[in-house]
Chains A and B, each alone.
Chain A
């Protein structure tokens, strides 16, 4: 699915959070929304998932305006993985089955159960299926929540900081896994992230937010030391390791910070 966001503005209590946000993501692509804390990344995600209603703008998914669709229709088009879900003593299988809710009439059908089993097989999480999710590690839980989103059979997948509470190995595993799913099922995915290097490695497009506005958007080429300095207020150099650009915080800045800290 192709997502086109145009002229999106969101105010909260008169305070401008997002202004004139505009971007586009194609099928098969992962877009990473980047920017410092509090810049409106999660708000943008919540506007796209229609939890928040923007005051202006349009969100077109294959030329359908999400803002004019009903809840159930939206729920069949996109799925959302929150940063932290509530976790009760629910079996992973049941937690994933919940993703079928937009498709369930009176009760679950055999097909729904089989779809849950299919996604469990694809993600190789059969060993988790009969475990309660409140006993799981961060990485395991994240896989279950992604499985719940996928069993919704969406065209667009939204993830709010999917790697924020994971160790390095799990981060790579989840992101590689996402990319595999996006390619295999022709999905479109949008995720917010803090780690630029992970984003460079796994995303196809990048959207840098600054003060609620799009500062830059595009493919990997747009990422330059100047851009990072402007957006994050931090001087960086970009090195190349194994053919991958790697953003390294400027040593001068580090030293300057350390000196000012030790002076206090």
Chain B
């Protein structure tokens, strides 16, 4: 069959609609850049925006330049990478599991990754607490921690996929499985803590509060190496998620290898979660909230939803971290506490809203 097209008949209405979405994405991108600069400016000492930009353009060894490039930049970049990564993981999980309540945090994947990382720190000695700064932990072997976090995340993911495949992938079932997995792995982490020294316990506890401020340049690099190509892959396969959203059978007849796309998407989402959790701790709800916010604005089409959610995730985490830095200044609140305050009500709203239908 061949369809003859009439090049003179352009679908004006649709093209306008597409342009509007494109403009929104560009606008959101600018918003992120602005937020990025503001986040560099705000802190225990305020640095005016022009000076922030100047520090970038001509890095000198001066005081301001040092604060911007060496103290604040890794923190702000971490927030951007982690926010975008967690949001993408949330969008993709929600699509391939066909479940609007999915996210690394609500399905227990984050907790499993945290258990894996805690295991690496305590049992395998991959990290220890620093006595110079009492609330931070020195990571001796980030690769080992990431690998263990990933293995933990994979365990949870395998459990989720098995239940979805052989039992039911109904949203309620998946969330309950997520609750069970989170409880199980939290118990595992508690078990590890019981056999740890007081110092180690302190380290693990502090470390499980999500905090974007603890990543070093080396950690940041590893996060980027894993998160950015994963985002690229997700975006490359955006049509496959659209097809899966239309039903497995439809997707198959559109040439999509549903099983493979689903497994790979879950695998990469777990990997993103694992690397973020191992360097920053548990940051909940960003992966759940960002896709839902953006779905209201750009709709369900993954061509727009994926990039929009990534931007929203980055902005949200940047914003939350700024508030966390200022709310009880000069002390800094771990951002994970704030995202939980932000996300938990929304999660409840979604749950209750669904059951009312």
A-to-B contact residues, CB < 8 Å: 46, 49-51, 71-72, 74-76, 78-80, 82, 85-86, 88-91, 93-95, 98-99, 101-102, 104, 106, 111, 113-121, 129-130, 150-155, 158, 185-187
**Chain A residue nearest to B242 in the complex (CB):** A98
Contact across chains for A130 and B13 when beta carbons are under 8 A apart: yes
Contact across chains for B253 and A85 when beta carbons are under 8 A apart: no
Contact across chains for B245 and A117 when beta carbons are under 8 A apart: no
Does B48 sit at the interface, judged by CB under 8 A? no
Contact across chains for B254 and A98 when beta carbons are under 8 A apart: yes
Contact across chains for A85 and B250 when beta carbons are under 8 A apart: yes
Per-residue 0/1 for B1-34: is the Cβ within 8 Å of any A Cβ (1 yes, 0 no)?
1111111011101110100000000000000000
Contact across chains for B249 and A82 when beta carbons are under 8 A apart: yes
A74 to B252, CA, bound (A): 10
Known contacts A98-B243, A117-B5, A130 near B17 by CB under 8 Å: yes
- Chain A residues, CB < 8 A from B247: 82, 85-86
Secondary structure of the B side of the interface?
loop
- Chain A residues, CB < 8 A from B9: 114, 117-118, 121
- Give me 11 other A-B pairs in contact (C-beta within 8 A), A91-B14, A98-B243, A102-B254 excluded: A51-B252, A51-B253, A71-B256, A82-B247, A86-B250, A94-B301, A113-B14, A129-B13, A151-B3, A152-B254, A153-B2
Q: Which of B252, B257, B299 contacts A90 (CB 8 A)?
A: B299
- Chain B residues, CB < 8 A from A72: 255
List 25 contacting pairs A-B, 8 Å CB cutoff, sorted by A.
Answer: A51-B253, A75-B254, A78-B253, A80-B249, A82-B249, A91-B17, A93-B17, A98-B254, A102-B255, A104-B239, A113-B11, A113-B15, A115-B5, A117-B5, A117-B9, A117-B11, A117-B14, A119-B3, A130-B13, A150-B1, A152-B254, A153-B1, A158-B253, A185-B1, A185-B2
- Chain B residues, CB < 8 A from A104: 239
A114 to B3, CA, bound (A): 9
Does B54 sit at the interface, judged by CB under 8 A? no
A75 to B239, CA, bound (A): 14
- Chain B residues, CB < 8 A from A46: 249
Contact across chains for B3 and A153 when beta carbons are under 8 A apart: yes
Contact across chains for B1 and A186 when beta carbons are under 8 A apart: yes
Does B214 sit at the interface, judged by CB under 8 A? no
**Chain A residue nearest to B296 in the complex (CB):** A89
A46 to B16, CA, bound (A): 38
Contact across chains for A154 and B1 when beta carbons are under 8 A apart: yes
Does B98 sit at the interface, judged by CB under 8 A? yes
Does B180 sit at the interface, judged by CB under 8 A? no
Contact across chains for B5 and A111 when beta carbons are under 8 A apart: yes
- Chain A residues, CB < 8 A from B242: 94, 98, 101
Contact across chains for A82 and B250 when beta carbons are under 8 A apart: yes
A99 to B3, CA, bound (A): 13
Contact across chains for A71 and B5 when beta carbons are under 8 A apart: no
Minimum distance in angstroms from A96 CB to a CB of chain B: 10
A94 to B5, CA, bound (A): 17
Q: Which of A76, A85, A88 contacts B300 (CB 8 A)?
A: A88
